[in-house]
Structure 1
Amino acid sequence: MSVIGFDIGNESCVVAAARCGGVDVLFLNDELKSETPAMVSFGEEQRFFGSAGATFAVANPKSTVSHIKRLIGKLYKEVEEDLKLLPFVTREGPRGGILIELEYLETKWTFTPVEMLGMLLKHLKQITEKNLESAVVDCVIGIPSYFTDLQRRMYLDAAQIAGLKPLRLMHDGTAIALGYGMYTTDLSDSGPTNVMFVDIGHCDTQVTVAAFEPGKMKILSHSFDQNLGGRDFDEVLFHHFVARFKEKYKIDVYANARASIRLRASCEKVKKVLSANAKAPLIIESLIGDTDVRGSITREEFRNLSSKLLERVTIPCSMALKNAGLSVDKIHTIKLVGSGSRIPAITRILTNFFEKEPTRTLNASECVARGCALRCAMLSPSLIVRDYKVFC
């Protein structure tokens, strides 16, 4: 029986397996990528997951469900603004929850976010079993530190739907810290080594402070901003280019779901290009009808457009320090991870705040899954792991 760690992100999923020789991150698609989109698409006769689902999303956006993690355990009114950005049809349920409406096998269906997450987890379970050629039951699943008891219970319900047995739900920051602490040798001889992990994901920012000593670690504090992530910077670019194209080409991208999906995907690529270049082009053929669009933006323009978001980056860092009872000079190092952490302006802001530059030695997309797999190995009777104590 395999020992597995799941990182179910808002945008993508990563799965890691603990084995006798260490922890391996699994390839989840034919493209040999460790990340697969967290999407479920409903075709006329079958469902599509991951990369296939993302491809289908462009052709039929109203039948493709994404951002499942963002919807779990939320009331409709709490995420009403978020739902306006999503192309699939939703409505308020009888108890104020979220219901997702779509057509599948020529029948209209209504699903809850828990059921959608259960489908996604079952798909990941099947891929993992095929990859490892063994049954997958025991697992540890990563969750944000700000999840409520209701959201945690819903994750357990979704795991049960998928036929999984979670030994624990583990905070993302704790998983990152465990994966770091288990293997690091850079520890102080004169007391605990305090490390801050800043995880800027797709839809949120989580900050964790941990103290490390040989053979053990202690989580000192967690802090977060539930509404500050890579997608918020993508939205800044999206609104910028929508306005540009409306003025230049007389088209309204907001009114076309397919065009909105294509432009958002292009804006994400532009953001990545700007992380290494001073200027990035944006070219989309036949965005609406036969209209080809062209544009460009500089890194400085992007920074100015994102100024209000950037001002919020250090707030959870300050809160984490306060909760841990530490000052900036007591932090040995800052580890920066997450898909939204590659923006140069964020690195500069954190460098000024801590008076030292954050490091990127951890794999930004795999570290949560690796930590979860390690924790699962520590809890499972099927593997022997060297003694390492975790205090939360």
Structure 2
Amino acid sequence: MFKFLSGPRRYEPLPVDLERSSSVSPNHQSRRLPAIPPRLRNLIIAFGLLFLGWLLFHRSTEVPPPAVKWGPDDFNFTAQRPRYLDVSVDRPVVIRLTIMTRVDEFERRHALRQAMLDGVSKKHVHIAYKFVVGRPVMGDNSSTNHTMLQAIGKENELYDDVLVVEEIKDVPKRLSEKRYAALKWSASVPEHQYDWAMTMDSDTFCRFRLLAQRLRYIYPAVNPREQPALVGRMGGHLVYYENTVPDDTEDDDAEDHIIKGNWYSFPAGIGYMLSSNLTATILSAKPALPHHVNYPSDDVMIGAWVAGLKNFHDPSIKFETTKEHDDPPIRQVHPKPYLPYSVDTTIIDDKIGWHDFKDHGGFEKPTGWESACVHRMTSEQMRAFRKLDEVKHEWERLPDY
């Protein structure tokens, strides 16, 4: 579920400071290179970043991807192929898809376009999608950040599929705000025009034809345009949130107030699908549901919303402060409901269809016939997986790489 980032690497100083050491001869000092003017240095850095973005963006179209060596237990297609995989759906499932990516993940976005999104079966699913990025924050160099935005602009000229949320810094701690912005994009069309608002991580590979078939034949009772529903691979948590942080904050550490209640299910890391009905319900709340939740609890936030919509109305549930987020003593609290009415959401924990890649994560298992959304795959693995004989027919055409 959780992803941990290591801190910046520290480097030891050189054994001898050539500028200050009295042991260095005048001849050595006289041969020092002249300092680069700050404006020229910034220009060089900006040009280098732009070139790097171009290189990453075009590399996968010019250089064949390296061969992938699969492990002996990475896949399991030995069981009989389920019959529902050969049955057509009565109508395509309509998905509004958002993919969380870092602003500099040019190669990852291109791999997802090539391997996952190109040629999706329109008989089974209709997809409108966006890669979601925040405002570039590459240190304090404004010209470097501007250059990164220019590279994103070039990418959008070709694909028009990157949503830049400029009011949110593209840093891990603000990922929950990116998720909320993604949900607002999904709901930018009326709820009766689509079935699901889906959000996934950039290292998740989804077989959308299979996903549509599972929704139709494994979970036929769910009507996403008429009822609140949440689909994904579920974990458990008991923290809830109250909206206390203004949207215009520049403090990356600012977090909505945390309280503790009863246990609930939340989509753990791979991705999740909110029915269009639930999406509209969530976004109808005034004030907005709490969405300033520090990474890596951004996925917990989704489950906390769904649980709070119901449980904040239940007087039998005890909510209290936590010793980690409030001064002692721990005391009971009565959170204000998000909406005037209770919302009871159907939660689908699809343990067969949603999982981590073999030996990568807490929900790991071999990928098989019914693996719809597989987490923790590299770009090279995605491209190679698309070409496997067992799955390549699920797209309308063979990939062009």
TM-score between the two structures when normalised by the length of structure 2: 0.26
Larger radius of gyration: 2
TM-score between the two structures when normalised by the length of structure 1: 0.26
